Amino acid sequence: MGWTTFRRDGELALATLFILVIAISVVTTLFLFREMSNFLTSALQEKVDVSVYFKESVTETEILDLKEELAKMEEIREVSYVSQDQAYKDFVERHEDEEIIMESLEEIGENPFLASLNIKAWKTSQYGTISTFLEHPSFETLIEKVDYFQRKPVIERIFSLTGAINGVGVLFSIILVIVAVLVTFNTIRLAIYNSREEIKIQRLVGAGNWFIRGPFLIQGVMAGILASLICLAIFGLTSWIVSPKIEFFFPGLNLFNIFTENLGLIFLLQFLAGISLGIISSLIAIRKYLKV
């Protein structure tokens, strides 16, 4: 019976469907954005590290001892040793094509690089603690410099940026979801307002409340299912098309992969969003017309 009314009320059903598609799209977009920003922030944080440069007089064993000690600190995720030779090789590799730099390097005649330990923390906020530890006077004889203080502004900016992205994201998501829910609710309310006479008549000929609600709920569910299917198709297609372009700007970020990996979750999300919006809005909107 719900289907018949759905078909006969074509225009209104189409409007409801359209609004539902938009609402579900908003939810899906937010989900994908969250996945993408998670990926980006973790990629960004991955790039952050702190290097400790040792005085030329310090021996390799002393450095490796310190490395052992550092590895025990719970803030530290990873410590890697870069010897003087390794640093030289890395530098040459990076600047092979730049003649001026290579020439000036040769002019120096000896290896100007210092041995270093490269430290990665779990969280950006932990770099402060680590460098304070390394600044301790007992290390003064060993350590030439810790580059945290040169890089501090960059690290902090990344730190505050990822924080801000998450904060704004959450706020934005909440606002968008509220707007989507309200718009959907209002559209369904209008659709049911349109049927208020019909509902009154049904009451007057003795129909029980669930008998009256039934077709509206079925309509709501059908609109929800249809809308979520449409959204799934739209998002599948767009992410497939847009994905290479995004990957061009952010290497390693594959939107289509994110989409397919989370397909089940996305489908569930869309389904739940569509159906619950349809059902709950219908139930609330119909309530006052049943009081005859």
Partner 1 sequence: MISFQGITKIYPAYAGCLMTVALEDVSFGIKPKEFVSIVGRSGAGKTTLLRLLLAEEKPTQGQIFFDSIDIHQLKLGELPQLRRKIGAVFQDYKLLPNKTAYENIAYVMEVIGFSDREIKRDVPEVLEIVGLKDKANNFLAGLSGGERQRVAIARALIHRPEVILADEPTGNLDPYHTLDIIRLLLKIQEMGTTVILATHNREIINRLGKRVITLEKGKIIRDEEKGRFIL
Q: Min. distance of Cβ 257 from partner 1 in angstroms? A: 47
Among 65, 68, 198, 261, binds partner 1 (CB under 8 A): 198
Closer by beta carbon to partner 1, 11 or else 74: 11
Q: Min. distance of Cβ 208 from partner 1 in angstroms? A: 5
Q: Could you say whether residue 16 binds partner 1 (CB under 8 A)?
A: no
Q: Min. distance of Cβ 9 from partner 1 in angstroms? A: 7
Q: Min. distance of Cβ 20 from partner 1 in angstroms? A: 21
Tokens for 192, please give them. 């049911």
Spatial CB neighbours of 158, under 8 Å, sequence gap ≥ 6: 44, 45, 48, 124
Contact track, partner 1, 213-232, x by CB under 8 A: --------------------
Rounded to an integer, what distance in angstroms lies between the CA atom of residue 77 and that of residue 192? 58
Among 47, 72, 136, 291, binds partner 1 (CB under 8 A): 291
Q: Could you say whether residue 5 binds partner 1 (CB under 8 A)?
A: yes
Among 122, 149, 211, 250, binds partner 1 (CB under 8 A): 211
Q: Min. distance of Cβ 211 from partner 1 in angstroms? A: 6
- Amino acid at residue number 246: I
Report the candidate in 201, 224, 215, 207 with the shortest Cα–Cα distance to residue 270: 224
User: At 53, is the secondary structure helix, strand, or coil?
Assistant: strand
Tokens for 9, please give them. 């009320």
Report the candidate in 78, 61, 169 with the shortest Cα–Cα distance to residue 115: 61
- Amino acid at residue number 17: L
Q: What angle do CA 127, 133, 134 make, to 5 degrees?
A: 90
Beta carbons of 279 and 217 less than 8 angstroms apart: yes
Q: Could you say whether residue 174 binds partner 1 (CB under 8 A)?
A: no
Among 208, 240, 250, 261, binds partner 1 (CB under 8 A): 208
Q: Which residues bind partner 1 (CB under 8 A)?
A: 5, 8-9, 197-198, 200-209, 211, 290-292
